[in-house]
Amino acid sequence: MRSSNEYVDPLWTRREGIRPRLLTSGVSHEQINLVHREILELLSVESCRLADIAILCCDKKSCASYKGILIGHGLRAVLHTDRDFDILEEQIKIMTIHSAKGLEFPVVFLMGLTEGTLPRARREAGQDEEEAQLEIERDRMLCYVGMTRAADLLYLVTVGGREARFVRELAGKIEA
């Protein structure tokens, strides 16, 4: 079996990568400012390039807002839906978690990990507990998809006191 080209040493399947880093802001609109500062720090120590960075959001509106703010701070950024989007171009890629499926980036900032954003507040009138739990599990899978887009560095971005249950579930496995 070991001589097969398809054999994978079990040691490699059990290795752990770098722990995710938690970025916590005081209020929702400050999250992108934390990310901006962290990106500048990464660039200053030359641990990555702009082309290595992806910012993953829950919705298109947040993506557009973050792009505008980063460009306003002098960073090159592009939305996944922009006509000039090129995954290899020297610019920050901003996209929804859904649109990032199947892609991988060296550095990922997973935005909006707050209760009401991810997981979304969707408890509708007439929705039973089982349906509500199913919605949370769908959001948990979406969060997992976002987390697994990071090859080297993963940043989980939240608001203090409103952290998503998914962040709390990772207690002890995150670098603050």
Give residue-wise pLDDT tens across range 3-17: 667 766 666 556 567
Question: pLDDT tens, 138-147?
Answer: 999 999 999 9
Longest dimension (CA), the chain: 59
Which CATH entry fits the domain spanning 48-121+131-169: 3.30.540.10, 3.40.50.2000, 3.40.190.10, 3.40.50.300?
A: 3.40.50.300
Tokens encoding 77: 């950024």
Among candidates 147, 144, 175, which has minimal Cα distance to 54?
147
The total of other beta-carbon atoms located within 10 Å of residue 79's CB is 20
For residue 106, cis peptide bond before it (omega within 30 degrees of 0): no
What is the pTM for the complete model shown?
0.89
Q: What is the mean pLDDT of residues 27-49?
A: 95
Among candidates 7, 15, 126, 111, which has minimal Cα distance to 59?
111
Tell me which of 130 and 5 has the higher pLDDT: 130
Do residues 31 and 164 touch, judged by C-beta distance below 8 A? Answer: no
50-59, 73-82, 123-132: range with lowest mean pLDDT: 123-132
Tokens encoding 78: 């592009």
